[in-house]
Structure 1
Amino acid sequence: MKLDEFLAQVSEELGTDPALIGEVRDDLLDLTRDIAHNAIRPAAPLSAFLVGLSVGSGASAAEIREQIAKVTALVEKQA
């Protein structure tokens, strides 16, 4: 599966606009790469998550966990 196809599936599952990730995909990949190589590797995905929260809809922790569970289930289907 290609990256764009997977991200489109994740966007659909989470009810977000798939065009939004397309606009910032390379920026987020660059950010996580830079953090992983120049700071602390586990901080890369968590930092991307924090960026998302800072511009997000103000979801509660429970709602965020629900969204994470949806993406995890989607990943497990791909394996």
Structure 2
Amino acid sequence: MNLHDWIDEACDVLDLDVEVDEGLVLDLARVAAHNVQRPAAPVTAYLLGLAAGSRGASGDEIELMAGRLTALAEGWDRPAGADAIPDLEDADA
């Protein structure tokens, strides 16, 4: 069984009819694990999924949220006074 088979089977079990951009999720998880700590990877991916599901987010919106989470993780130990990560609501402006 490969990753695509696993995703298909997991979606069947969860009764989900979605396309999964596993590259996006894996990249986000890698950055979170590397810059925050290892357990941040699955937790961050889970939070992205919760946010996407609760908003009924489109693929573009999921990419935007993943990008913001990636930026947050990349700057996790940034020095005081560094630029803040924009809020999700800023995207609507």
Out of 45, 55, 64, the residue aligned to residue 48 of structure 1 is 45
Q: Name the Cα RMSD after superposition.
A: 1.5
Gaps of 5+ in 1: 59-79
Tell me by how many angstroms 1:42 deviates. 0.2
Deviation of the 1:50 alpha carbon: 0.4
Q: CA deviation at 1:57?
A: 4.2
In the TM superposition, what is the alpha-carbon distance from 1:51 to its structure 2 partner? 0.5
Give 1 or 2: higher helix fraction. Answer: 1
Total equivalences in the alignment: 55
**TM-score, structure 1 normalization:** 0.64
Structure with the larger RCO, 1 or 2 (CA within 8 Å, 6+ apart): 1
Corresponding residue number in structure 2 for 1:2:
2
Deviation at 1:14, TM superposition (A): 0.4
Q: Give the one of 16, 21, 25 matched to 2:22.
A: 25
**Matched AA of 2:36:** A
